[in-house]
Amino acid sequence: MNTNLSSFCIFIAVFGLLGVCHGQLRMHFYEESCPHAEEIVKKIIWNRVACNSTLPAKFLRMHFHDCFVRGCDASILIDSTTNNLAEKAAIPNLSLAGFDIIDEVKTELEKTCPRVVSCADIVALAARDSVSYQFQRPIWDVLTGRRDGIISRESEALANIPSPFFNFTTLKQSFANKSLSVHDLVVLSGGHTIGVGHCNFFSNRLYNFTGKNDEDPSVNSAYATFLKTQCKSLSNNVTIVLMDPGSPLSFDNDYFKILKQNDGLFQSDAALLTDSEATYNVNEMLNSQNFFTEFAQSIMRMGAIQVLTGTSGEIRKNCSVVNP
């Protein structure tokens, strides 16, 4: 093993990703095959985020939803066909956005390096670059070398994407199924510091928590009163509410501060305070530097879930369609 590869494997071991060392995920995977790949992705993503500050939350969510179904293989990008309902058709994914920008990136990369850069890597890079625009520097490393999957099923998205209605036990199991720890669960939940939530994913906490027209007692009463002014009924599935009202467009650790005030929007947020280990990790994330350091590590672990590398999968020419 040469010195560079040895150092890489040591780095991987530190981050708990030793299994992908031989799976060919590494920094600057396209250095020789498409040297400007990451620069092209970053330029387009940064240009788009400069005009639309809601994109970081959208790309971060897309990356998360992709990795939790069949691993990080861009199966989230595949369109449904007459014979198959794809992941995009699943309820948790109906509000996803940014697919057109992924297509824009792919089109540019195909002009420069045909059939070289995977859609799966584009999704991972887009998540990092969009969130990093705020800081004008990358805030986590993205290992590349993923290949694209050829299967996308609505049913698998429904079965694998953690629900905002989950309690802690179910959340923990959902993450464990992907080889992610309670620590990763808490840290990655910090992604809720940007973005919005639709009323129908939390209004049961306001109006019918136990089926008796009651309110979730774990919600701060003042916050519940405010939410009721936004979501006036259980049937409202259109209105959106900011997940972090104080700084909704800033990627920071404020999520954990509002969580401690019982102002977490979803039941799955509040659930983090029902377990001692999770609560300990929440308290650790109240330190901003801890959050940024740990988020970088946890999202790298997430980005390595069941990756296809080497000769597995394919490099899609069009991200929304499996190669003919």
Quick one: tokens of 208? 């019918």
| pLDDT of res. 9 | 39
Report the chain's mean pLDDT, rounded to a whole number: 92
pTM above 0.95, yes or no: no
Say whether 184 counts as a known binding-site residue. no
The answer to whether the beta carbons of residues 194 and 204 sit under 8 Å apart is no
Residue 65 appears among annotated catalytic residues: yes
Of the pLDDT bands very low, low, confident and very high (cuts 50, 70, 90), residue 14 is: very low
Lowest-pLDDT choice from 57-61, 113-117, 127-131, 234-238: 234-238
- Indicate which residue of 28, 36, 63, 65 is catalytic: 65
Alpha helices of the chain — where are they, by DSSP H?
3-14, 37-51, 55-67, 99-112, 119-132, 154-160, 168-176, 182-189, 204-207, 221-230, 254-260, 267-270, 276-284, 288-302
d(CA 319, CA 38): 17
Strand partners, 318: 321
pLDDT for 237 equals: 87
* 158, pLDDT greater than 70: yes
69 marked as binding residue: yes
DSSP per-residue string spanning 247-315: STTS-SSHHHHHHHTT--SSHHHHGGGGSHHHHHHHHHTTSHHHHHHHHHHHHHHHTTTT-B-TTSSB-
The verdict on whether residue 244 carries a ligand-binding annotation is yes
155 is in an annotated binding site: no
Please report how many Cα atoms fall inside a 13 Å half-sphere around the Cα of residue 303, on the Cβ side: 29
pLDDT at 175: 98
